[in-house]
Amino acid sequence: MAELENDIPSVKPEDRRPAVDLVLAACICLLAAGFWFWDSGPVPVPAPVPQSVTAPAPLPKASDVFNNAGMQLYSAADYSGAEAQFRKAIVVEPDGALGYCNLGAALIAEHRYDEAIAALQRSIALDPSLTLARNNLNWAFDEKKKHTK
């Protein structure tokens, strides 16, 4: 056992001091760094990339496009152009009451009352709650009476 103790180099206390000082300095640095992170508050988390908040508006139906185009022409007193647009709306949506209702109004403006009455009756058959079609049908009957005397 005495032989093992002789093989271990002995370190004098004055030789240990620089090594201890170095270890202590490293600990103090690490401790200071830890306090700096702790003092700086939580690590900021980047904000997520915002997704679209609202869904994009759905595209209008083709019949709506034709009905809107027809209404613009009707407002400009281009009744034959409006009629053509309303007929296109009916082609793309044969069960659309509004297309027949609008067509009836254009036909009334063109003094084609019997065709207007047929279109408006079809509109009412497709959607009995469409008040505009009923009003236009009454208008068609009134105009037909006025012009057939």
Confidence of residue 110 (pLDDT cuts 50, 70, 90): very high
- Give dist(CA 18, CA 95) in Å, integer: 96
φ and ψ at residue 49, rounded to 5 degrees: -65, 120
- The radius of gyration computed from the CA coordinates of the chain, to the nearest angstrom, equals 44
Q: Indicate whether 68 and 102 sit together in one domain.
A: yes
**pLDDT at residue number 95:** 95
Q: Indicate whether 16 and 74 sit together in one domain.
A: no
- Asked if residue 1 belongs to a domain, the reply is no
- Give dist(CA 67, CA 60) in Å, integer: 11
Average pLDDT over every residue of 35-59 = 67
- DSSP category for residue 108: H
CATH (domain of 141): 1.25.40.10
**pLDDT at residue number 22:** 65
Confidence of residue 58 (pLDDT cuts 50, 70, 90): confident
Q: What residues contact residue 127 under an 8 Å CB cut-off, 6+ apart? A: 97, 98, 133
φ and ψ at residue 22, rounded to 5 degrees: -65, -45
Average pLDDT over every residue of 11-16 = 56
- Asked if residue 44 belongs to a domain, the reply is no
Q: Indicate whether 72 and 34 sit together in one domain.
A: no
Q: Indicate whether 71 and 140 sit together in one domain.
A: yes
Q: Distances in Å between the alpha carbon of 89 and those of 40, 63, 82, 98, 149?
A: 66, 4, 11, 9, 34
If we measure between CA atoms, which residue out of 77, 78, 82, 75 comes closest to residue 99?
A: 82
For the chain, the first-to-last Cα distance in angstroms comes to 141
Considering the entire predicted model, what is its pTM?
0.62
Taking 80 as the threshold, does the pLDDT of residue 119 lie above it?
Answer: yes
**pLDDT at residue number 60:** 85
Task: Return the higher-pLDDT residue of 25 and 69.
Answer: 69
DSSP run (H or E) holding 103: helix 97-109
Task: Return the higher-pLDDT residue of 129 and 28.
Answer: 129
Query: Whole domain around residue 34: which residue ranges?
Result: 12-39
